Amino acid sequence: MIGVTGTATTTQRVVTTPLGRRRSDLLTKLPARGALAWVRDGEGLVGWGEVDRFEVTGPGALERAADWWAQRCAATEVVDPLGVPGSGAVLFGSVAFDPERGRSVFVVPAVVLGRRDGQTWVTVAGDDHPEVTEFPAQAADSSIGRLSYADGELDPVTWCGRVGEAVRRIAAGDLDKVVLARDVLVRADHPLDPRRLLLRLAARFPSCWTFAVEGLLGATPELLLRRTGDEVSSRVLAGTAPRSSDAAADTALGAGLAGSAKDHAEHRYAVDSLAAALRPWCTDLAVPSRPSVLTLPNVRHLSTDVRGHLAPGAPGLLELLAAVHPTAAVGGTPRGAALELIREIEGMDRDRYAGPVGWLDARGDGEFGLALRCAQLTGGAGGAEARLFAGCGIVGDSDPMAELAETQAKLAAVQAALQD
Ligand SMILES: C=C(O[C@@H]1C=C(C(=O)O)C=C[C@H]1O)C(=O)O
């Protein structure tokens, strides 16, 4: 199926105004509806309002989105005295895990508030733009009341059975690694205000990228691809250990991850898949031979930062995403066999979970993470329901109960932010 919806491109004006070095929390400026965000450690972009959108499903979805954005930028008059990544015309995007089958959404906000290297700016899009330089902080609702949880598509016991099946397929030589995920449903007494969730996630996970696009909100530790001029970089994660509130036990868990042959194997598949897909477009690509350990409040991951330079004539960021996604951090190895097994046994529609999420500007600079540690707010605007997701890499010696515990530790990131 090929599906495309988008409004007709009309000539637009986009004006960026520098706001100096004022420090205020970007996320507190968001209105409750239509929140768009990509924020890390107080810097990044937030947006709201909508001057245009592009939704796409089917073969070549990301290439079609790239064409649409190129046409739109060509028809846009940009006033941008800053000229830094994220200033001028900006597009937020949330791509389906499977862009051929799922719906990917791209939104051009009416207002973008940005900060980079301490410099703040506002960008206003549209022909009829007001002079906006002051932003009142918006109030986030304080209580959501009681939360009740329900199983998503599979209950935990059935899901563990599917992990066991994946281990058998790996033992039979069908594939080396597959990432299996599950979903959990949550209902609150009162509407879930996205700003409340975003603020809490950003406060607890400052080293993660706190994101929001089209009701999908989260704080991801994994950067799929950043492009700044001809530089590309990625933070690949795979291999996870829980945390412990007991200091000695926690140190032992970290050391266990650093020395775990199983986790290193799981990690290597993910790094190799990213590097193999990116290398053809690069003049150089630096891939560390050993991962480091990334410590988050709820889990630790093996982590590798990959950096390179794009060759002249390399495609744009959206086309590069199409080439690298899904890496074995969220798909598996070999990719085709893993995706087939996911479709066969995972039992749920990932929708935009584990898909690329982020932003792109008119120069082609941008950042896309993987939509992990996230909630899809459902039930319409002001809704009180959400779907949470978590997955883990399965290899030959994976233990289903340990994998279930890993999903619980990952889900805890959003659960803690939801709780009163
Ligand atoms: C799939 C998820 O996370 C991915 C899987 C990991 C693993 O298997 O160890 C680690 C980080 C992510 O690449 C998730 O958080 O839902």
Query: pLDDT tens, 360-409?
Result: 999 999 999 999 999 999 865 457 899 999 999 999 999 999 999 999 99
Give per-residue pLDDT as tens, 132-158.
555 666 666 667 788 999 999 999 999
Pick from 122-131, 135-144, 223-232, 258-267: least confident:
135-144
* Residue of 224, 257, 296, 330 best suited for mutating to test ligand 1, as the one with most atoms within 8 Å of CB: 330
Residue 246 included in any domain = yes
Residue 136 included in any domain = no
Give per-residue pLDDT as tens, 50-72.
999 999 999 999 999 999 999 99
This model's pTM is above 0.90: yes
Q: Does 222 qualify as catalytic in the annotation?
A: yes
Going by alpha carbons, the residue nearest to atom 2 of ligand 1 is: 391
Residue 137 included in any domain = no
Residue 19 included in any domain = yes
Residue 135 included in any domain = no
Position in ligand 1 atom list of the atom nearest CA 389: 16
Per-residue model confidence (pLDDT) at position 32:
84
Residue 23 has pLDDT above 80, yes or no: no
Residue 270 included in any domain = yes
Per-residue model confidence (pLDDT) at position 133:
52
Give per-residue pLDDT as tens, 240-250.
999 999 999 99
Residue 134 included in any domain = no
- The percent of residues above 70 in pLDDT, for the chain, comes to 92
By residue range, what is the domain housing residue 108? 3-129+145-418
Ligand 1 center to 125 CA (angstroms): 36
Predicted interface score ipTM higher than 0.90:
yes
CATH of the domain at 82: 3.60.120.10
Residue 139 included in any domain = no
DSSP per-residue letters across 198-257: HHHHHHH-TTSEEEEETTEEEEES-EEEEEETTEEEEEEEEEEEE--SSHHHHHHHHHHH
- The percent of residues above 90 in pLDDT, for the chain, comes to 86
Higher-scoring residue by pLDDT: 188, 234: 234
Average pLDDT over residues 222-235: 98
Would the CB of 373 count as within 6 Å of ligand 1?
Answer: yes
The count of structural domains within the chain is 1
CB 158 within 8 A of CB 180: no
Strand partners, 39: 44, 210
Would the CB of 326 count as within 6 Å of ligand 1?
Answer: no
Evaluated on CA atoms 394, 395, 401, 402, the torsion sign reads negative
Q: Is the peptide bond before 85 cis (omega within 30 degrees of 0)?
A: no
How many residues does this entry show for the chain?
A: 420
Position in ligand 1 atom list of the atom nearest CA 390: 16
